[in-house]
Amino acid sequence: MNAFINAVELAQPVVHFANRWVGAPGEAFGPRIIGDYQWIYVRGGKGSARIGTESFRVYAGCLFTYGPGQPHWFRSSDDDPLVLYGLHFGYEGHAGLDDVLRMIQNVDWDRFEKISPDVPVPFPSKIETGAWPLPYFERLVEEYRGNRTLSALVLRGLITELLARVARWVIDKPPPALPQDKRMLRVKESLESNAMESYQTDWLTDGLPFSQDYVSRLFKHCFGHSPRDFHNQARLAKARQLLEETELSSTAIADRMKFGSVHHFCKWFKKHTGIQPGAYRKRSRFL
């Protein structure tokens, strides 16, 4: 365990590539190997995966990790396609997008389980983190796409903190959910299902014998964010989804999500992403 902690503390990661991927029904990538490290965070949908000799079910809240030379394959289900965040990174030097693409090699299925990774990966292949890593991946993708001044430094800070938090999660091994945690899952589902609506505090206590303040504190303890912040993240994810997967205008999205006006929607979206909805739509059409 000490060696694991030391390895994380000494890491100086460099982000190579980051993006959000919306799969079509049954769409897959791999089997392949890459020359750097990749983390895949599952935002939504269902599917299946193979990493080395292990097979996995893929669903929202899972984080998958693998490294150089480690064979992997992911496939979306036919009825509930995957929405993934992908992050390529390394620990030495800096690779551009062309270098990352040259590292990717397809492999035959008959060789899949016979290929040994180039280096050991300190993290488990699958980690059930829940929702808390989502803001990190959203910010990593946003910062990578933005290509702004000192973005490499910001990206290094974000991925370093993410590495440390995932390592802490693995080491501490969160205990099984308590009854109140299961109740907070109901609140979380309510907040996600109402992502198209403006935030309402009544959602917190619907069917629960608790005060709103108590639910807010318990929710933050369970998920690391206040209910309002979590709902805002779910609302932003829904806005991103509509921009990425539909041809609805900003005005139509503002109306559908009950923002009151397209001006309010555009101002809110830029505040949280750094760009206008139209510009975001253009940047989202590439994986």
Domain boundaries, the chain: 2-172, 179-283
Single out the residue of 211, 235, 240, 210 nearest to residue 225, CA to CA: 235
Res 95: pLDDT: 60
Q: Which fold has domain 179-283?
A: Arc Repressor Mutant, subunit A (1.10.10)
Classify the C-alpha dihedral 64-85-83-225 as positive or negative: positive
Per-residue pLDDT band for 103 (boundaries 50, 70, 90) equals confident
Provide the percentage of residues in the chain whose pLDDT is more than 70.
Answer: 89
Res 94: pLDDT: 55
Res 183: pLDDT: 79
Reading the block at residue 200, the tokens are 């309402």
Q: Are 2-172 and 179-283 equal in CATH topology?
A: no
H-state helical runs in the chain? 2-10, 97-103, 134-146, 151-172, 179-193, 202-205, 212-223, 227-245, 250-256, 262-273, 277-283
Q: How far is Cα 136 from Cα 96, in angstroms, rounded to an integer? A: 21
Give 186's DSSP letter: H
- Which pTM was predicted? 0.62
Contact residues for 233 (Cβ-Cβ < 8 A; gap 6+): 134, 135, 138, 225
Provide the percentage of residues in the chain whose pLDDT is more than 90.
Answer: 45
Which CATH number describes the domain made up of 2-172? 2.60.120.10
H/E segment holding residue 63: strand 62-66
pLDDT at 168 over 60: yes
pLDDT at 287 over 50: no
Per-residue pLDDT band for 174 (boundaries 50, 70, 90) equals low
Q: Which of 8-12, 166-170, 268-272 has the weakest average pLDDT?
A: 8-12
pLDDT at 69 over 50: yes
Alpha carbon of 51 to those of 14, 67, 108, 118: distances in Å? 23, 10, 14, 14
pLDDT at 158 over 60: yes
Single out the residue of 100, 168, 93 nearest to residue 129, CA to CA: 168
pLDDT at 285 over 70: no
Give me the mean pLDDT over the 98-121 stretch: 82
